[in-house]
Amino acid sequence: MSALIYSFDHPAGESLDALCLRFGNKAVGLIEMTRLGLPVPAGFAISVDAGRALMAPDAPFPESLRVAVGEGLERVEAATGLRFGDPTAPLLVSVRSGASASMPGMLDSVLNVGLDRSTLDGLAQRGGRRFALDAYRRLLQMFGDVVLSVPRDVFEKLLAGTKTRLGRPAMLDSELDAEALEALTTAFEAHLTHASPALFPCSPQRQLELAITSVYRSWNNPRAQRYRGLQGIPDELGTACVVQAMVFGNHGPRSGAGVAFTRNPSTGERQLYGEFLAQAQGEDVVAGARTPSSLGAKSAIPGREDRSLERSDPEAFARVEQLAAALEVHFRDVQDIEFTVEDGRVYLLQTRSAKRTAEASVRIAVSLATEGKVSRDEALAMVDANAIANLLRTRLPSAEELLARDIKPIATGLAASPGVAVGRIVFDPEAAERMAAEGQDVLLVRRDTTPEDIVAMKGARGILTAAGGLTSHAAVLSRALGKCCVAGASTLQVDYASGTLTARPRRGSDEPPRTFTVGDTLTVDGSTGRVYAGALDVVAASTLPELDTLLAWADERRTVRVRANADTPRDVRAAAAFGAEGIGLCRTEHMFFADERLAALRCVVLAIDEQERERWVGRIESMQRGDFEQIFEAMAGHPVTIRLLDWPLHEFMPRDDASLAAVAKDLNVPLREARRRAGSRNEVNPMIGHRGVRVGLTIPAIYRAQIRAVISAAVTVSRAGRAVAPELLIPLTAVGEEVRRVADAVRAIAEEVFAELGARVAFKVGTMIELPRACLVAGQMARHVDFFSFGTNDLTQTTFGISRDDSTHFIPAYVDELGVLPQNPFRTLDVVGVGELITMAIDRGRAAHPGLGLGVCGAQGGEARSIQFFADHGVDYVSCDLSRLVVARLAAAQAAARIARSPH
């Protein structure tokens, strides 16, 4: 049987990792600090397993545990020269909780255990009566709360009553004199005896056993349970318990308790950072009854520098600084330290890796590596990849750079909410809402906004108002929503009736006014307040230089490539600026939003006559060719994967009378006939209806036009001397034969284009793997293609049978409240289910086609834990949204470093 307890000064033998599971984090920190010879009060840990016997409501304290605790105490007594329960030189201990996962402040601890009326005088010998009584009233308070479940406000009321009786209701606890404390402790005692006569008063030995029992049981308090639910910490883990000799921060003028961070946890700055409370025990620092002073003079509130530990006790401050530096070097990370000063001597009571902001984590990782305290791999592993998405933002080039290219703002308003937004201008909030829901980039333009506009504002890329200030509704709500907003651009005239926006020139300028209509594209810069005509390119703006360094290290380390999902030439250029090594998914649907294109697509679908259809198909081909040329140019030879039309036809069909009339006119048929044909395309479940390859095979003219456009664009760009690497992607395949037919068609059509243009380019053909059947028959599919691209959004939808759009009604409850799922599978790959299908598809696909390329293009391709899975399974690249590119670059590097370090 493994030992129930482990003394901090136990001769080293076992690894600390192994000890952590049995004795918890707090104990391991204390054991390690003791091994390093640092000033840690003597103590021992009791194992998680020992506590299991104590969890039942009336469980007796096991004899074996009593013996083990007795042995632990003897070592502490030997180290301190005190004796537990001794009337003349009593040893007092803290009884502390501590699991192997960090749960700060969630579990209970009791201090000053071993103090009762029989040992009080002995303690008074050490530091005076007032001190002893202060320690005693603290014990009664904590013991009452943790062990006897007496509500805390009972003590607060008795305390307040005492102060009022003394005529000083505002006095601090630390100002109560011996006499007042005498009265107070007597009142506390009476209350506890009354509340639990069977448990109080009790001997020091019984106090200790009850405290230990309660600390273990605090594992199941509602606060801790909720925290575990949120953090995904398993309930079975259990807590361990620490028993440790007390040191007293309430001992006199050169005493106190504090918390220190080895670096600033919000900025990452290299400075000792923290708080200190003189004449206090540890629990006071966090309780907030008194305002602690800062450790360093520099970080003190101006005017309060003298209260800082640095000024009030420079020696103790220097010692804390020295200990903190040693801990950081030893633990190879920023530490969050609890310490107590007793009569000028500093003791360490806890150390752990500090929680920090995303920004600080990047700074800290890079500086620790630069200072030689950790390796680069360790630095990469230190940063939570998912947390850094917002540290790289988009911004416009500076006004000067733009001016040099002859680009001038059409108006300048107030920089109301930062960011850059490009979109088509829409004045009507309802129209904005609808267009945004269709996936269009919308810029909501209003004179000013009202609370009813919130849905439109949420869906819009950005908001532009002509009236209102920095505290206007539009400005305030935009900031709350994290939306880019320019407010009060007063030279703009918004005319709702005519649907126009007129930019008056600045006074003194001789330029003519410019007028824009609904659907025109503008770019607004919420960081400068400038408004530009057209879609301007953005550049990547890192908020801190250390991020650039970290990403450079990550790029060197990773083997998995990182591509972006981007649909327009402008998005592709932005992706390149964010470090994308290609486009993993270019959705052609977005190219059909412009009115004339939508009209052409509708005619292709609704035409009955083949010749008629050919005419419209020709238009689509020539319109798309231009887009693809720009996209290939922007990616400068990096691979670009273009997905053939995937969306349900249903979604492109005309609905309102005006668009039906337009189609009728274009096709030269009566309105009734147009309505009938459009109606016949209606679907009950478009998501699993006539879409993807099913459209490709039943109306081949559409894919044919797209394939011709891609290949001829590639030839054109390549002829102009630029490298191109086009890849065509077939969506929603479930059957090997679907893949064979479309892949063959791609190759045949390409040959046809090459012959026409008299030049060739290399290209690839791949299929999406996004249906469970595709995973099963991956072997049959792989023969016909160069690569697979896992569409993890649809694969998750179809594997779970949950539509992503509707999942919001119950997935949050499943994850947070009910704990049915560990995480949202639409964000983090469901490794056990969907991951199993992916594994099967990879194995079967590669067995049939050894050189098969593998990519991922769903949302999970930009999520750190999912990327770890993809990297482990030999995926060549992940592709994600622009905003997740940095996450993917870092996560891929972390995966590489972990694979390199694991023993096989």
Q: In the complex, which residues of this chain contact Mg ion (CB under 5 A)?
A: 350, 770, 791, 794
Q: Which of 60, 62, 70, 105 binds ligand ADP (CB under 6 A)?
A: 105
Active site residue 857: yes
At 504 the three-state DSSP class reads coil
- Is 202 an active-site residue? no
Pick between residue 127 and residue 258 the one whose CB is nearest to Mg ion.
Answer: 258
- Give the residue, chosen from 340, 367, 523, 588, that forms a contact with ligand ADP under the rule CB under 6 A: 340
Cα-Cα-Cα-Cα dihedral sign, residues 592, 593, 596, 602: positive
Q: Which residues of 157-196 are buried (b: 16+ CB within 10 A; e: fewer)?
A: ebbeebbeeeeeeeeebeebeeebbbbbbebbbebbeeeb
- Residue 791 interaction partner, one of ligand ADP, Mg ion, none, beta carbon < 5-8 Å per kind: Mg ion
Q: Give me the residue label for tokens 């959705």.
A: 587
Beta bridge partners of 540: 394
Q: In the bound complex, which residue of the shown chain has the CB atom lying closest to Mg ion?
A: 794
218 lines the binding site for ligand ADP (CB under 6 A): no
782 binds, among Mg ion, ligand ADP, none (CB under 5 to 8 A by kind): none
Cα–Cα distance between 839 and 302 in angstroms, integer?
60
Using alpha carbons, list the distances in angstroms from residue 724 to 35, 561, 569, 853.
61, 18, 15, 18
As given in the structure block, the two tokens for residue 367 are 């500086």
Out of 473, 590, 638, 784, which one is annotated catalytic? 473
In the complex with ligand ADP, the residue whose CB is nearer, 346 or 842, is 346
Give the active site residue among 241, 485, 603, 857. 857
Q: Does residue 862 touch ligand ADP according to CB under 6 A?
A: no
What phi and psi values does residue 666 have, to the nearest 5 degrees? -60, -40
Considering only residues 249 through 288, tell me which ones interact with ligand ADP, judged by CB under 6 A. Answer: 257, 281-283
> Smallest distance, Å, CB 342 to ligand ADP?
8
Q: Is 111 among the residues that bind ligand ADP (CB under 6 A)?
A: yes
If contact means CB under 5 to 8 A according to the sort of partner, which of Mg ion, ligand ADP, none does residue 283 touch?
ligand ADP
Residue in 7, 25, 109, 218 binding ligand ADP, rule: CB under 6 A = 109
Residue 139 neighbours by CB under 8 Å, 6+ apart: 110, 111, 112, 113, 115
The SS3 of residue 614 is helix
User: To the nearest whole angstrom, how small is the minimum distance from the Cβ of residue 286 to ligand ADP?
Assistant: 7
Closest CB to ligand ADP among 282 and 648?
Answer: 282
Plot region of 446 (φ>0 → left; ψ -120 to 50 → alpha; else → beta): beta
> Are the C-beta atoms of 858 and 825 separated by less than 8 Å?
no
User: Of these, 73, 142, 246, 895, which contacts ligand ADP (CB under 6 A)?
Assistant: 246
Least separation in angstroms between residue 285's CB and Mg ion is: 10
Q: What angle do CA 197, 199, 201 make, to 5 degrees?
A: 75
The residue (of 563 and 889) whose beta carbon lies closer to Mg ion is 563
Q: How far is the CB of 247 from ligand ADP (least distance, A)?
A: 5
Q: Of 7, 25, 244, 478, which lies in the binding site for ligand ADP, with binding defined by CB under 6 A? A: 244
Q: How many CB atoms lie within 10 A of CB 523?
A: 26
Question: How far is residue 571's CA from residue 580's CA, in Å, rounded to a whole number?
Answer: 11
CA–CA dist 855, 870 (Å, integer):
9
Query: Rule CB under 6 A: is residue 351 a binding residue for ligand ADP?
Result: no
Is there binding between residue 96 and ligand ADP (CB under 6 A)? yes
How wide is the angle at C-alpha 106 spanned by C-alphas 101 and 108, nearest 5°? 105
**From the list ligand ADP, Mg ion, none, which binds 789 (C-beta under 5 to 8 Å, kind-based)?**
none
Contact predicate 795/838, CB 8 Å: yes
Of the candidate residues 25, 47, 80, 94, the single one contacting ligand ADP (CB under 6 A): 94
Query: Which string of x and - marks every residue 40-69 that binds ligand ADP (by CB under 6 A)?
Result: -x----------------------------
- Among Mg ion, ligand ADP, none, partner that 794 touches (CB below 5 to 8 angstroms by kind): Mg ion
Task: Using only the alpha carbons of the chain, give its radius of gyration.
Answer: 34
Catalytic residues: 473, 857
Which parts of this chain interact with ligand ADP (CB under 6 A)?
Answer: 41, 94, 96, 105, 109, 111, 244-247, 257, 281-283, 338, 340, 349-350
